[in-house]
Amino acid sequence: MIENGKISLLQFGIAVYMFALGSTALLAPSIIVSIAKQDGWISVIFCMLVIVAFVSLWSRLSKRYPGQSMIQYGERILGTWPGKLVGLIYIWYFLYLSSLVLRNLGDFITTSVLSQTPIQFVHIMFMIPVLYGAYLGLEVIARTGEVLFPWILVIFSVTILLLLKNIDPGQVLPILPDGLLMPLKGVYPLLGFPISELVVFLLVIPFVKGQNKIKKYFNLYFLLAAATGACIVFISISVLGVDVTARSTFSVFDMAKEINVGNFFERVEVLVGGIWMMTIFVKLSICFYAANLATAQLFNLRSYRVTLLPFGMFVLALSILGYKNTAESAWFITTAYPIYSLFHGLVIPALLLMIGKLRRLKG
Amino acid sequence: MTVNKMRRSFILIMLLLSVSLGGCWDIRYLDELSTTVALGIDLSGNDELQVTVQVVNPTEVSTASKGGGGSSPVTTYSATGKTVFEAIRQISNETSRRLFFSHNQVLVIGEELARKGVGDVFEFIERDPEVRTDFYVVVAKGGKAADVLKVTTPIEKIPGTKVHDNIENVENKSGTSFAVRVEDVIETIGSDKKEITMGSIEVIGNVETGGDMKNVQKIDPQTIIKLDGMAVFKGEKLIQFFNAKRSRGISWVDNKIKSTVVSVPCKNEGRTVIEIIHSSTKMKAKFQQGKPYIDIKIMQEANIAEILCPGMKGAAKAVFDQLAKETGQEVTKEITDTVTRAQKLNTDIFGFADAIYKANPSYWKKNRHNWDYIYPKIPIHVEVITQIRREGIRNKSYFEKILRE
C-alpha cells in the first residue's frame, strides 16, 4: 500500500466541508452576486440539488469498486493505456487546481493584507506547510482539518454575531424579481468552483473507516458547506449591498471591515481572513496530496513522496503563470473553468460508471 | 539522538523561523508614518483637484510631553493633480513621512467641486486597500475644504477628531444633520435608486487667523467650524443646501433621528417643547389603482422638556394626548415640507425608487425611464405616532401661576 493511514468518517466530513468552502467562499460571493444580484444566495441554495446529484454519482462509483481509488479502477475499466491517459488528465487537473488555489490565497494576501510583499514569497511560505502535510500523509491532513474546524465555526459565528447590527435584510429584497432565471445563471460558476473539484475525494474515500456511511457524511457536510456559503452570500448582500458586494474582489473581507463594537472592537477583519488561511490550507493539502498519490498509483511507485518536491515547485511556478490578475481569474471562473472542471467532476466519472456497468466489472 | 535526526530537526526549525520573515516586506514603523485624520478635496482652477491632508503632529498630542514645543497639533499639506491619487502622491514632495490613511476620520469636499460633481473623489478611496471607507463625508458650505482643515479647534486638539465627533453629536442630539460615511455614498452612487445627501460644514470667522494657535487660546475663539444642514445632490452634483429644519425632514424619512427637539405652540400663547428620545421610521411603497404612493410610518417616544404655556395645567392625561397629537402633526408638516422641496428639485434623496422597486419590481422595470416624471408627483402619506413617556421631575409647571395677557 502506498498510503497506510485511515481516517474517520468525521474527519472525512470535515475535510469535505473545508475543501468545499476553500477559496470559493472568499472569491465566489462577488462573482455570484454580480450575476444573480440580490438572489445570489438563492443560487447557492439551488446548488444543493446539484450537490446531491454529484455525490450520488461519486459514491455509487466508489461503492462499486471498494478499497480502490479512481485512478486504480479507471485503469481496470478502460484498459491499461486509456486508463493511464485518464489518470494523467487527473494528475494535471489536481496540480492545476492546487496552483489556482494557491494563487487565490496569494492574491488575497497581497491585495488586502501585505501589499508590498512579493506574491512568490507568500506562495513559497504557504507551500512549505502544505508540502510537509502532504509528506506526513492523509491522516495528518485530516487531523489538521479536525483541529482547525472548530476555529472556523467560532470565528464565523462571532463574525455574524458582531455584524448583526449592520445586517439590513431589506437589501435582499425584492426576492426573485426576474423569476428563477437569474439565480439559475448564478449556479453556473459554482458548478466548476467548487462542486466538481470535490471529485478529488474519490481518491480519499478508500482510506475512510466505515465505508457504508460515506454517502451520508459526504452529503451532509457538503450541504452544510453550501448552507454556510448561502449564509455568507446573504449576509454579504445585506451588509454591503448588492452593488458593493458585486464589485468587491474579496467581499467577505470587506464585510468583516464593517465590524465595529462600541468604537473599540474594530479592525478585526484579519481574523476573518484567518478562516481562509485554514480552509485553503486543507483544500490545497488534499489537492496536492491527491496529485502525488495519483502519480504513485498510476506508475506503481513504492511511495508517493518522491514526487512531492518536483510537484511542489511545479505548482509554485504554475501559480504565478496561471493568470495575470484577479480580474482574469474571475473571468476564467465565470466562463471556461466550469466546463473544464465539469469534465473531470461529471463527464469522466459518469463514463467510468457506465463503461464499468457495460463491461460488468466489479470491485 | 542520531546526527541525522538532529540535522533534520535543525532544518525544520530554520524553515519554521523563516516563515516569520514574511512580515518584513510590509513593515511600517510608527515613526515613519504620518497619520492623516482629515482629507479635503477641492477643485483647483482648470479641472485639477487639490487634495489637502491633515496629519497628526505626534509630539504635540502625546500626553507624556507636557505642552510640546508650542507648535500646532496637526499640520496640513496640499497638492494638486489631475486625480485624487496623483495629488496625494504629489504631497510626498512636502512630507518626510509616508502618509498613512487607515485612521482617517473625515473627508471634506469643497463646495465648488461638489457642484461640479463628486464622482472623481471616491474611486481611489474605495479601491485602495489601506484607505478604509468608514469615515464621514461632509461638504464645505460656501468655501474650500482646505480652509476647513486649517482651523484650530478648542477641547479636541485634533480638528479632524473634532469634526468627526461633532457629526456624531449632531446626529445624536438634534438630527439636523446626520453622519454619512464614504461607503454610504459609494453605495448610493452604485445604486440607481437613490440620490446622495451628506452633511455640510462651515467656517465661521476669519480663516487666516483661525489657523493660528492663538485662536484656541481665547475663551471665545473667533474662528470656529460648525456643522450645518444637509447638502442635497442630484446625480453626482450638489444642487442645494437644506436648512436645519428641512434637513431634519430627511433624517426623519431616512430613520436617522435618535433624539431631537420639537416645539408646539400652546393654545393661547407660549410653546411646549418636546424631547424626542426614540424614533423609528418605516418607509414603504404602496400601490393604489396601479399608482404608487409612499407610506411613511413613524413611531416615536418623547419626554416633555418645557411647558411654557401660561395658565396651562400640566400632567393631565388629556393634555398629554393633545400634545402627542400636535407633536405628530408638527413632524408630519416638517416631513411634507422636505419631501415637497426635494420633489421640486426632482432629486430622490429618500430612496423612493428603491422602495418602489422592492414593493413592485415589475412596475419599476416598466417605469424606470420615466422616473424623473413620476417622482415629483408621487404622493406621500405620513403617519406619526407619538407616545409621551415622562414629564421630568415636576408634574406641574409654575407657569400655571403665570398669567400673561
DSSP assignment string, B54-118: EEE-HHHH-SSSSSTTS--SEEEEEEEESSHHHHHHHHTTT-SSEEE-TT--EEEEEHHHHHH-S
The tens digit of pLDDT for each residue in B302-312 reads 988 888 887 66
Q: What is the ipTM of this complex?
A: 0.78
Q: Which residues contact A278 (CB under 8 A, 6 or more apart)?
A: A18, A148, A151, A152
- What are the grid coordinates assigned to B101, written together? 490613511
Chain A positions touching B186 (Cβ under 8 A) are 244
Separation of alpha carbons B294 and B380, rounded Å: 5
Residue B133: its chain A contacts at CB < 8 A?
257
Peptide bond into A194 cis (omega under 30): yes
In a domain, A180, yes or no: yes
Helix, strand, or coil (residue A70): helix
Q: CB distance A125–B19 less than 8 Å?
A: yes
Per-residue pLDDT of chain B (405 residues; tens, 9 = 90+): 577 888 888 888 887 777 666 566 777 777 888 899 999 999 988 789 999 999 998 877 766 555 555 778 889 999 999 999 999 999 988 888 888 898 899 999 999 999 999 988 899 988 888 888 889 999 999 889 999 999 988 888 889 999 999 999 999 988 899 999 998 899 888 888 899 999 999 999 888 888 888 888 888 888 999 998 899 999 899 999 999 889 999 999 999 899 999 988 887 778 889 999 999 999 999 998 888 999 999 999 998 888 888 766 656 778 888 888 999 999 999 999 999 999 999 999 999 999 999 888 889 888 888 888 999 999 999 999 999 888 778 777 777 777 776
Q: Minimal Cα distance from B358: which residue of A? A: A174
Which of A350, A336, A290 lies closest to A191 in space, CA to CA? Answer: A336
Q: Does A258 contact B at CB distance below 8 Å?
A: yes
Residue A240 touches partner B, C-beta closer than 8 Å: yes
Question: Across the interface, which of B132, B186, B361 has its CB nearest the CB of A257?
Answer: B132
CB-CB neighbors (< 8 A) of A240 in chain B? 187
Q: Do A117 and B22 touch (CB under 8 A)?
A: yes
Per-residue pLDDT, B64: 56
Whether residues A118 and B130 touch (CB distance < 8 A) is answered with no
Chain A residues near residue B15 by CB distance under 8 angstroms:
128
> Does residue A179 belong to the interface with chain B, where contact is any CB pair within 8 Å?
no
Per the structure, the complete domain to which residue A174 belongs is given by 9-352
Amino acid at the residue A135: Y
Is A210 part of the contact surface with chain B (CB cutoff 8 Å)?
no
Q: Where are the beta strands (DSSP E) in chain A?
A: 260-261, 265-266
**Considering the domain boundaries, does residue A105 fall inside one?**
yes
List the one residue out of B89, B77, B82, B90 whose CA is nearest residue B48.
B82
Asked whether residue A357 is assigned to any structural domain, the reply reads: no
> In the A/B pair of chains, how many CB contacts fall below 8 A?
54
Q: Which of A34, A111, A114 is the best residue to mutate to test the B interface, defined by the most B CB atoms within 10 Å of its own CB? A: A114
Q: What is the pLDDT at residue A280?
A: 93
- Which residues contact residue B318 at a Cβ distance below 8 angstroms, ignoring those fewer than 6 apart? none
All structural domains of chain B, each given as residue ranges with its CATH number in brackets, are 26-241 (no CATH), 245-405 (3.30.300.210)
Q: Which of A111, A116, A241 sits opposite B26 (nearest CB)?
A: A116
Q: What is the pLDDT of residues A92-145, one digit of tens each?
A: 999 999 999 999 999 898 888 888 888 998 899 899 999 999 999 999 999 999
Q: Is residue A114 assigned to a domain?
A: yes
**Is the residue at A148 inside a domain?**
yes
Quote the strand ranges of B212-290, DSSP E: 224-234, 237-241, 260-265, 271-288
List all residues of chain A from 74 to 113 with a beta carbon under 8 Å from chain B: 111-113
CATH number at residue A42: 1.20.1740.10
Q: Is residue A362 part of a domain?
A: no
The reply to whether A358 falls in a domain is no
Among chain A residues, CA nearest to B131: A112
Q: Is A263 a member of any domain?
A: yes
**Structural domain count, chain A:** 1
